[in-house]
Amino acid sequence: MVDLEPSGICYTADAGADLLSAAARAGIAVPFACKNGVCELCEARLLSGSALNTRNQQTIPIGARLMMCRTAALDHLELEISAVMAAGKNQPRKFQANVVDVRAINHDVYRVELQLPRRRELSFHAGQYLAVNLPDAEPCYFSIASSPSEPHIELHIQASPDWVSAQKVIDALTSGEAVSLELPYGKACLASVPDKPLLLIAAGTGFAQMKSLVDYLRGTSCSQPVKLFWGVRRQEDMYLRSMAGQWEQDWPEFTFQPVVGDDEDNDWSGHHDQLVRAVLESGADWNNVEVHVSGSPAMVYTLMDALLEAGLPSGSFFSDVLEYAPRN
């Protein structure tokens, strides 16, 4: 076992494996640039335990600096590495992004791909969100739909005449000019592979946050069951259903349950009830599961109340709604 301080993140390193590779399998973002011929980025300090320098086969003394890419654990280690942040603890920063692509993927949802010239300077966790800052307008917030390991930032933006602010963002992005971003935001995210089964619940474009989580987990050693519920009003609102279905085919740990409301009844309260019933009937062990939810405040709180009543500990329910739209 390897403990990273001050983040408090722990992970397992198999015998003979270097600490950097083991951290990557656990989904922990340790900075490195070995592919670019640059060294020293994965430096840490040994606080306790016994570690081996795999280059010279020498034991590393307590208090010494080490490179995680060429260090193996001989027993339980405690390392100091300030570059690794606990979930949701990275500070938002401003970036200028170039628009790579904007395309409609259904009747009112656009897939946006952004490139950050200083991408290596950005660190975020799977499941976080960002702000798009337009001149003379309030910031518009969108979930990041891509994994932290991807070179570009992906967004899913629902825009229609009724969504004035979102439509302004799409208009600005399609102009081809650079756009100002501030990120990352959000505490309902993952900084390492969870040690419990996961339930992911999304309504509408809340799927974007879940896509970030799934893409991230698929690139790690995650062996816990992951189940996604995606609730929409109409079939055509499930804009990437084929993608979720492909995940289910390719990843044995993953299952997908679409929840589609009655086309004749677009009442969100009734739709929330339908989604809640589907989750409650999942057969999950509420004492051994982690739940991540993305959607409107009404949906999130309806689901939270139902799950807490069913026995889910409050500390196992994660949604950014709890932070930006707290109940009085």
Alpha-helix runs per DSSP H in the chain: 19-25, 164-174, 207-218, 241-250, 268-280, 297-310, 321-324
Cα angle at 279 between 275 and 284, to 5 degrees? 175
The pTM of the full predicted model, rounded to 2 decimals, is 0.92
All residue ranges of the chain with pLDDT < 50 are 37, 263-270
Q: If residue 154 lies in a helix (H) or strand (E), which one and from where to where?
A: strand 153-158
Whole-number pLDDT of residue 271: 56
The rounded distance, in Å, linking the Cα atoms of 121 and 116 is: 9
Cα angle at 265 between 261 and 267, to 5 degrees? 90
Whole-number pLDDT of residue 78: 98
| Phi-psi map region of 23: left, alpha, beta (phi>0 left; psi -120 to 50 alpha) | alpha
Mean pLDDT of the chain: 92
Q: Cβ distance 291 to 317 under 8 Å?
A: yes
Whole-number pLDDT of residue 262: 60
